[in-house]
């Protein structure tokens, strides 16, 4: 059986208008050849630094723009080149929850109408009674009182608005929800509530989640697998335990080591990345991480490492994982990974 979502060789390049005199047109290589899949009822998290292309991947899956190359498949069917008519049904199956619950809800619509819109648009109910039953059910699912339906978005707190955002996504009866920094703006206690809610809904409805976040502790708490992106590419992809216990890419190790730990007594060794932060307009030759990698050697500057299996289900794109690499270098990454715990 094919996975729910398949992304193969996805590229998205943004053109930067107004080429400088005497120069050719420039492109932002926002996403530059990304492949992954998500199964039904599975959470795959996308992590990586700001600007590495996470949201762009999310938007490509939502089909919010034409992609530059590659393909996106939902339930085995290509959706990146669908006609408008067929697109509608696909849009129902893939929904999104954004970071900012405030600006993503129409302030001039009552909650009832915000939620009824997708239900009606996609023809999911036949009668007024059916609609009302569905709306009540949605409120229950996201833990809001039924009378919330008659109120306006500004009457709710940030956490409640995020619940409304989730209810709106659920209203379309989706199979996959793209959560783009969906819990990042929430404070500690509300974040815990929303994370628990997403996990409950996944269990109950068999939802798949593409969970985009820079909060690695939340990711570790709720994901099944993790894809680490760097400058438009996936550099490591592994099941949760594998990734957190035995990272095989120096960038992943650096990322994990940089997470602030809520324990003032914790003594972790931190890897502060030095060197130039490269630009997605002119990505470095060879490995894209070579300008900042503490383990860089000659081959990294000339040859781009492929994303290859290093263990069952664990992919990494780093020359250090190759056989000819010296013992000491390999020990370096492992030792570094061990030191951060």
Partner 1 sequence: MALLEVEDLQTHFRTPDGINRSVDGVTFSIESGQTLALVGESGCGKSVTAMSILRLIPEPPGKMAGKIRFMGRNLLDLSDKEMRGIRGNDISMIFQEPMNSLNPVLTIGRQIGETLRLHQGLSQKEAEQRAVDMLSRVGIPEPTRRVGEYPHQLSGGMRQRVMIAIALACNPKLLIADEPTTALDVTIQAQILDLVRDLKTDIGAAILLITHDLGVVAEVADRVIVMYAGRKMEEASVPELFANPKHPYTEGLLGAIPRLGSSLRGATARLSEIPGMVPNLKKQIDGCLFSERCYKATDICRKIAPGLEEKAPGHVAACHYASKEMVPA
Ligand X SMILES: Nc1ncnc2c1ncn2[C@@H]1O[C@H](COP(=O)(O)OP(=O)(O)OP(=O)(O)O)[C@@H](O)[C@H]1O
Instruction: Report the interface residues with partner 1, using CB under 8 A.
Output: 48-51, 157-159, 184-193, 195-196, 199, 214-218, 220-221, 240-241, 244-245, 254-256, 258-266, 270, 272-273, 276-279, 281, 341
Q: Are 177 and 97 in contact (CB under 8 A)?
A: yes
Which of ligand X, partner 1, Mg ion, none does residue 14 bind to, with CB < 5 to 8 Å depending on kind? ligand X
Distance of CA 220 to the CA centre of its chain: 13
- What sign has the CA pseudo-torsion 241, 247, 252, 256? positive
Residue of the chain from 11, 44, 47, 53 that contacts ligand X (CB under 6 A): 53
- Alpha-carbon distance of 180 to 195, in angstroms, equals 13
Measured CA to CA in angstroms, residue 63 lies from 16, 105, 178, 210, 251 at distances of: 21, 20, 12, 14, 29
Question: What is the DSSP pairing of strand 94-97 with strand 314-316?
Answer: unpaired
Write down the least CB distance from residue 16 to ligand X, Å: 7
Q: Which does 28 bind (CB under 5 to 8 A by kind): partner 1, ligand X, Mg ion, none?
A: ligand X
Place of tokens 């690695």: 216
169/184 Cα distance (integer angstroms):
18
Size of the site for ligand X (CB under 6 A): 13
Give the nearer residue to ligand X in terms of CB position, either 191 or 248: 191
Please choose, out of 53-61, 125-133, 270-278, 291-299, the segment that lies near ligand X by the rule CB under 6 A.
Answer: 53-61
Query: Is residue 45 a contact residue for ligand X (CB under 6 A)?
Result: no
For the segment 213-242, give every residue that binds ligand X (CB under 6 A): 214
- What phi-psi label fits residue 299: left (phi over 0), alpha (psi between -120 and 50 degrees) or beta? alpha
Residue that the structure tokens 């992809």 belong to: 237
What backbone phi and psi angles, to 5 degrees, belong to 73? Answer: -120, 140
Of 10, 30, 47, 254, the one binding ligand X (CB under 6 A) is 30
What residues contact residue 260 under an 8 Å CB cut-off, 6+ apart?
none
- Binders of ligand X among 54-83, rule CB under 6 A? 54-56
* Least Cβ distance, residue 326 to partner 1 (angstroms): 27
- Could you give the CA distance from residue 43 to residue 33 in angstroms, rounded to a whole number? 21
Candidates 45-53, 166-174, 300-308, 330-338: pick the segment binding ligand X (CB under 6 A). Answer: 45-53
In whole angstroms, the minimum distance from the beta carbon of 153 to partner 1 comes to 15
Residue bearing tokens 């109120």: 151
Position among 24, 50, 189, 323 found at the interface with ligand X (CB under 6 A) = 50
Q: How far apart are the first and last CA of the chain?
A: 38
Minimum CB–partner distance for residue 33 and Mg ion (Å): 19
Interface of this chain with ligand X, residues 266 to 295, rule: CB under 6 A: 280
Least separation in angstroms between residue 134's CB and Mg ion is 31
Point out which residues bind ligand X (CB under 6 A). 14, 28, 30, 50-56, 187, 214, 280
């Amino acid at each position: 059986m094919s996975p729910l979502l398949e992304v193969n060789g996805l590229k998205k390049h943004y053109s930067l208008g107004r080429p400088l005199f005497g120069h050719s047109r420039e492109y932002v290589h926002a996403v530059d050849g990304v492949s992954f899949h998500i199964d039904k009822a599975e959470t795959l998290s996308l992590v990586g630094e700001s600007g590495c292309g996470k949201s762009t991947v999310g938007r490509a899956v939502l089909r919010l723009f034409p992609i530059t190359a590659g393909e996106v498949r939902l339930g085995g069917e290509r959706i990146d080149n669908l006609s408008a008519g067929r697109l509608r049904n696909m849009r129902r199956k893939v929904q999104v929850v954004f970071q900012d619950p405030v600006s993503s809800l129409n302030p001039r619509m009552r909650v009832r109408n915000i939620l009824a819109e997708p239900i009606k648009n996609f023809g999911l109910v036949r009668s007024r009674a059916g609609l009302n039953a569905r709306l009540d059910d949605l409120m229950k699912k996201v833990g809001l009182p039924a009378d919330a339906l008659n109120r306006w978005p500004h009457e709710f707190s940030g956490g409640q608005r995020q619940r409304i955002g989730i209810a709106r996504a659920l209203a379309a009866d989706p199979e996959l929800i793209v959560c783009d920094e969906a819990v990042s703006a929430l404070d500690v206690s509300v974040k815990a509530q929303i994370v628990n809610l997403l996990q409950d809904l996944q269990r109950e409805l068999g939802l798949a989640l593409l969970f985009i976040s820079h909060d690695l502790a939340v990711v570790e708490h709720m994901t099944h697998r993790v894809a680490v992106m760097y400058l438009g590419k996936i550099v490591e992809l592994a099941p949760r335990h594998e990734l957190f216990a035995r990272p095989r890419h120096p960038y992943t190790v650096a990322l994990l080591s940089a997470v602030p730990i809520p324990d003032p007594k914790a003594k972790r060794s931190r890897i502060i990345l030095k060197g130039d932060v490269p630009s997605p307009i002119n990505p470095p030759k060879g490995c894209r991480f070579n300008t900042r990698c503490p383990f860089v050697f000659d081959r990294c500057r000339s040859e781009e490492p492929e994303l290859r299996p290093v263990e069952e289900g664990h992919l990494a794109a780093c020359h250090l994982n190759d056989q000819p690499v010296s013992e000491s270098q390999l020990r370096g990454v492992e030792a570094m990974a061990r030191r951060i715990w």
